[in-house]
Structure 1
Amino acid sequence: MRSPAESSAFVIGSAVVLPPAVESAAEAVRSGRITEEERERLGVTSVHVGAEPAPVLAAAAARAAAAEAGVEPDRVGHLLHAHTYYQGHDFWSPAHFIAHEAGFGSCVPMSVGQMCNGGAAALGIGVERVRHTACGEPVLSVATTADTFGGSGIDRWGSDYDTVYGDGATCVILSPEAGDTSAPALRVVALDSRARPQFEAMYREGDPFGTAPHELRAAIDVKATKRAFFERCGGTTEFRDVAIKTIGELVADVIDTAGVAITDVAATMLPRLSPKVLDLMYSAAIDPRLVPTLHCERDTTGHLGAGDFLANLDHLRRTDLLADRQYALVVGGGGGFTWSAALVQKVGPAVPRA
């Protein structure tokens, strides 16, 4: 076994699959789903909307990432799939479907449930698996996410405050080795999470426990439960204070663990949330020295459910935002509440998009 001090984890392949159809914020205003004022707060021009089930998109992302990395399917030891919303069947394992459809017949599939922090949680489990691979042929881990927000069960534009949910799937492939140095990789230098479960009621406040999906409400209404939660708490002050403190400590600890200076961080990727939501939790938590490095890629994707974290890793691989050997910070979170941060280093040139 490699010791933790000697072991590494690299993102050697990645993919983001977005359905071809799009729906614009202007269309949402014209149809009465949001107001013009809400559109301006979202900071989104359009989102992708798809007819294919979420796990089908995830399998496509996994196949694309594996093909790009030249991965032999039988080398994949683990597949971790995260999602926030319905996966197409009521009593079923989407992770096993994705593994089968992607050709990873030798892996152990697992579903990861951490709401919008799910992609980061899947990444963390995958990193631990490859870092503790026994000597011999390296075993790879695959992390996927997929969410689609169509149908009558949720309104992507109106079910939540200041958030629009876009359809899409993501995948990253993790290896204990960087592989071909002519291809880009991201070395995962440090990764950690912090949870504050006292805020779990934000997504159920005022509702009794049900016994079947949509038994209590015909459609998801996050606004109703958040409104009830903050009315009970006397406003958002406590949540904001705890979030800022937690994220600030998390980011500082991850950078410290990585052994780099904060001035070495060339890019900081934020979740694909509206400016108002980022201001509520993230903006005040970020060290002022990182402000010039902030990036949020929400404009044409919106919030990808569990997928923002992995989509942001893919963005770092595929663009020239980072030069070879430069560092980036990726930050995210999800209801419950859990926040995650990763410090990664680019190894190699950018991947051109197909």
Structure 2
Amino acid sequence: MRLHPPVGIAAASLWLPDGRSTEQDAAAAGTRPATLRDLAHPSLPDAGELSAPEMAVLAGGEALRAAGLPGDRLDLLCHAWMYYQGHDLWSPPHYIASRLGAPGAYPLGVQQVCNGGTAAIETAAARLAAEPGWRHALVTTADRFGPPGFDRWNADYGVAYGDAGTAVLLRAAGGPADALLLHAVATVAAPELEEMHRGSDPFAPAARSHRDRVDMRATKRAYLSGRGREGFTAANERSVRAVLARALADAGLDPLDKRIACAVLPRFGAKTLRDSWIPLLSDALDAELLDWGRGTGHLGAGDAAAGLAGLVRGRVLDPGRYALVFSAGAGFSWSCLVVQAPPD
């Protein structure tokens, strides 16, 4: 999706709890040493009893304050999440809008698993472009991966899960006062891979009917035992290359354009990035690859928004320079955001 004129990113925030689940904690609870080596996270943020929507409110409040915008000026609030939000049949985005003082905003929930944050940014940017009277949209994400239903270190292969809230404040149309300009959002999908998170399990009448904890390893084992690894490996390589090409084309950039300063990687385990992402992007781009996930782990729906927050907070880009922000999620889908620091 090409955005012309670009949509402004007025602010972006990453809210992390003080609590930590350490490698030592994980080892004491039975996580294998080889798993910890492959993940390479010294610790992961642990929110304890704080709910995911409460973290979204905290991140959203930070973004609004950074931009000097009161909540009642929001036209749209999109919230994305991966895991349980604290109530069985309930709308987290309505809660977040209410707590942020945004009674006039349209609260919209986006469930696209780990790629939900990018899907929400894409949706919000498209709505801002299509609605002449709309000016501001806030995108939030939040997930808390804790007991009894989730083991953050062992629920998945190659990924460990950290608790966080994120927020991205979008403004139409973007200009020199914005922290970043969003030029393009691209997404590609491989829906034939949905079985990797379904496995051989029958459809269940309620959540966690088959197991008392979320176990993506079990469904992936079932998929791989019947179909092998080659199909996913080929789809991942094809999709990473395709989403990069589409995003750059939408932004009017060449892969070797010297204005592309960096690419922000998803917050996956170190071995997953080494095997499935870094070789592909190193071959295609002449830009620094940024792995900001060692201290956070995978943030559910929030990896892309956290990447934007890192670019803003660290003032990584010089005026006029570009960054690419990648994310991916179950299903599968792969996305790339193209952002620029406003030129002088």
Smaller-chain TM-score bracket: over 0.9
Give, in whole Å, the separation in 2 of the partners of 1:283 and 1:291: 12
CA distance in 2: counterparts of 1:291 and 1:334, whole angstroms = 25
Q: Deviations over 1:147-170 (max 9, x none)?
A: 001121010011111211000010
In structure 1, the partner of 2:291 is 296
Aligned runs of 1:1-354 on 2, under 5 Å?
Answer: 6-29=4-27, 31-50=28-47, 51-134=49-132, 138-178=134-174, 181=177, 185-233=179-227, 235-262=228-255, 263=257, 264-286=259-281, 288-290=283-285, 292-347=287-342
CA RMSD of aligned residues (A): 1.8
Conserved? CA contact 2:5–2:173, under 8 Å: no
Are the equivalent residues in 2 in contact too, given 1:15–1:64 (CA < 8 A)? yes
**1:346 counterpart letter in structure 2:** A
Structure 1: stretches of 5+ with no match in the other structure: 350-354
Q: Are the structure 2 counterparts of residues 247 and 6 from structure 1 closer, same or farther at C-alpha, using a change threshold of 3 Å?
A: closer
Say whether the 8 Å CA contact 1:248–1:287 is kept in structure 2.
no
What secondary structure does 1:89 align onto? coil
The code of the aligned residue for 1:139 comes to R
Sort the Cα spacing of 1:205 and 1:6 in 2 relative to 1 into closer, same or farther, 3 A: closer
**Residues 5-14 or 109-118, more deviating:** 5-14
Deviation at 1:237, TM superposition (A): 1.0
Write out per-residue CA displacement over residues 50-109 of structure 1, whole angstroms, 9 at most, x where no aligned residue.
Answer: 120000110111111111101132321111111110000001011110111111110111
**1:81 partner SS:** strand
Deviations along 1:13-51, one digit per CA (max 9) or x if unpaired, are 11111111112113211x133122211100211111012
Letter matched to residue 241 of structure 1: A
Q: Which amino acid aligns with 1:244?
A: E
TM-score by length of 1: 0.92
C-alpha separation in 2, matches of 1:302 and 1:242: 24
Q: SS in structure 2 opposite 1:8?
A: strand
Q: Deviations over 1:273-310 (max 9, x none)?
A: 01222245323432525265101111111110110010
Identity among equivalent positions (%) equals 34
Does structure 2 retain, via aligned residues, the 8 Å contact 1:163–1:303?
yes
Distance 1:40 1:254 in 2: 33
Partner of 1:352: none
Structure 1 segments (4+ residues) deviating >3 Å: 4-7, 177-180
Q: Runs of 5+ in structure 2 lacking a partner?
A: none
SS in 2 for 1:9: strand
8 Å CA contact retained: 2:140, 2:167:
yes
Could you tell me whether the CA contact under 8 Å between 1:23 and 1:49 is conserved in 2? yes
* SS state at 2:79 partner: strand
Question: How far is 1:254 from its partner?
Answer: 1.0
Amino acid at match of 2:112: Q
Tell me: CA distance 1:290–1:67, structure 2 relative to 1, closer, same or farther (3 Å): same
